[in-house]
Structure 1
């Protein structure tokens, strides 16, 4: 396993981050199996959120840490997602949700904390100051953002630098080989070419969600199969079918699968990246690990992403 150093935390972040969608306190045998397999492969970091499963994933990891120790993993949780009444990116909501998350996790701090959404109507300085209060209190070590634009991230980090505060240490948008027609969920952010160029300049780590485009490269989808309305809405376009064609061709040449190659695309960017993965079982986890070992050149990345007509040798 390869790792990324994130300013503020001691244990490096594994370049595969285990998603927690299938983790629940009423399925602790599954939790133990997945966690032990993940750690055996070198995994260090688990992706959680206040809203996931009504708190089930945080409670499951809290129970697991009580059995196995707090220091074996980096705990990453997210908060300040909007609710039925609208945005909740403010000091009060961040504090409320964080304290509930810590109670569920049975710990006094998280290693990584990200804001789950943005509210551009709130001055970025207010948000940075609110997060720094929790850093100073020892409740979180490193902060980041999920579904923020790179312009707001830059504004936040400029504010932090000019006020002697801790800025965002990572970003977590969607990044995948298949490009979205529109957000899968309202107000979600996918990394476009400008975002990727900003990350290359800044070298700020990017933790990608839906890094394998919800299985677009798995072989389950074709232009004629329109049974999954969300996949059609988000990923069906001519450019993505060409990307799938090229991924299948390169995968055959390399002796891997196209879905593995799509994960390798995320992990071979010219800046630090990690991929959130959601394996349903240990076999899928092993496949993701094998994908993380695939090396792609810049020329191969460009060809897969349709920015080059052929792979220059």
Structure 2
């Protein structure tokens, strides 16, 4: 499998990152089986978060790492400082509390990739950068980034870090998919738009995309006549996205692959370091993701799929 490099990490990050929002303590066999399939295709990075499954996702990963004895071979990507019922929690105290809990659950003394799950525009970026630097210096995290941070806030944070001789954000995890979101899937989520794409390319800033396949929009399960999934309808149903789907279907037929593999290839073929978070639940789905990630789309194909070019 292809990889990208993220500043602060010794190990490269596989282009496909395994999602774990279905990992629980009552399905250890499924967790082990799926992660086995993931290792078999060359994956080395597992995504989780403090809030996933009430903490069971991180716990399940920690148990698996212990059983396999392969902690040093894997990149662990987890997130913290998500808001709660009282509001935003992007502050030094919440970051420290969530991080220490995640370390305990994951049965490790360091996190390879640590991201702030949300942003809080009311909190100055300087205080956030300083808090995260404390944990890098202590060896608790190797690299930090923002999940659902705009590129403007990332740029602001890194300008502060450079001015004060600190480590800055070295990766980002927003939503990037061929289907463009009409509105956030969840409150506070950030999807990459055209302006952001130009920034990521100019900066060559690593991006780890969640919902990289638009939550199954390209799987064949959806059409303008099917409206039984209110969230998919709300977020992805648009004339432009139906055109993108049709173009993906056409290109898939020409290349002899599936439409959803074209959608995955769209993410990992971007002209900057990009990875796709995936959530396959079977060996066949895992192999489909592997094959999709091996596809290389040209700049002209990317533009055509994204309606920026009339012909491919």
Q: Does TM-score exceed 0.5, indicating one fold?
A: yes
- Residue in 2 that maps onto 1:24: 24
Distance 1:226 1:66 in 2: 44
TM-superposed deviation, 1:35: 1.3
Q: In the alignment, what sits opposite 2:36?
A: 36
For the residue of structure 2 that corresponds to 1:78, the secondary structure is strand
- What SS does the corresponding residue of 1:66 show, helix, strand or coil? helix
Post-superposition offset of 1:149:
0.6
Counterpart mapping for 1:216-231 below 5 A? 216-231=217-232
1:125 aligns with 2:130: no
In structure 2, C-alpha distance between the alignment counterparts of 1:35 and 1:29, rounded to whole Å: 10
Is the 1:200–1:271 contact (alpha carbons within 8 Å) kept by the matching residues of 2? yes
Contact 1:267 1:292 in 2 (8 A): yes
Match of 1:305 in 2: 306
Structure 1 unmatched ranges of 5 or more? none
Structure 2 residue aligned with 1:192: 193
CA contact (8 A) 1:150 1:198 kept: yes
Q: Which runs of 4+ in 1 moved over 6 A?
A: none
Question: 1:25: how far off?
Answer: 2.3
Give yes or no for contact 1:25–1:63 (8 Å, CA) kept in 2.
no
SS at match of 1:174: coil
1:105-254 matches, within 5 Å, as 105-254=106-255
2:59 match: 59
Gaps of 5+ in 2: none
Distance in 2, Cα, partners of 1:11 & 1:61: 19
Which residue is 1:280 aligned to? Answer: 281
What is the DSSP-based 3-state SS (H/G/I as helix, E as strand, rest coil) of the residue aligned with 2:281? coil
How far apart are residue 154 of structure 1 and its match?
A: 0.2
Normalization by structure 2: what TM-score?
0.99
CA distance in 1, matches of 2:107, 2:223: 45
1:268 Cα deviation (Å)? 0.5
Confirm or deny: 8 A CA contact 1:174 1:210 kept in the other structure: yes
Aligned to 1:93: 94
In structure 2, how many angstroms separate the alpha carbons of the residues matched to 1:282 and 1:104? 27
Task: Return the alpha-carbon distance in structure 2 between the equivalents of residues 180 and 142 of structure 1.
Answer: 28
Q: Please give the alpha-carbon distance, in whole angstroms, between the structure 1 residues aligned to 2:283 and 2:57.
A: 18
1:62-96 superposed Cα distances (whole Å, 9 cap, x missing partner): 00111112112101110000000000000000000
Q: Which residue of 2 aligns with 1:50?
A: 50
RMSD over aligned Cα, in angstroms?
A: 0.7
Deviations 1:87-112 (A, max 9, x none): 00000000001111111011111111
Within 2, Cα distance between the matches of 1:233 and 1:247?
A: 21
Deviations 1:104-127 (A, max 9, x none): 011111111000000000000000
Q: After superposition, give the CA deviation of every residue in 1:229-281 in whole Å (9 maximum; x if it has no partner).
A: 11111000000000001110110000001111000000111100000001112
SS at match of 1:46: strand
**Contact 1:22/1:280, CA 8 A, preserved across alignment:** no
Q: Is the 8 A contact 1:44 1:72 kept in 2?
A: yes
CA contact (8 A) 1:217 1:259 kept: yes
In 2, distance between residues paired with 1:61 and 1:183?
28
SS of the residue aligned with 2:170? strand
Deviation at 1:39, TM superposition (A): 1.2
Which residue in the other structure is 1:12 paired with? 12
Quick one: distance in 2 between partners of 1:286 and 1:24? 23
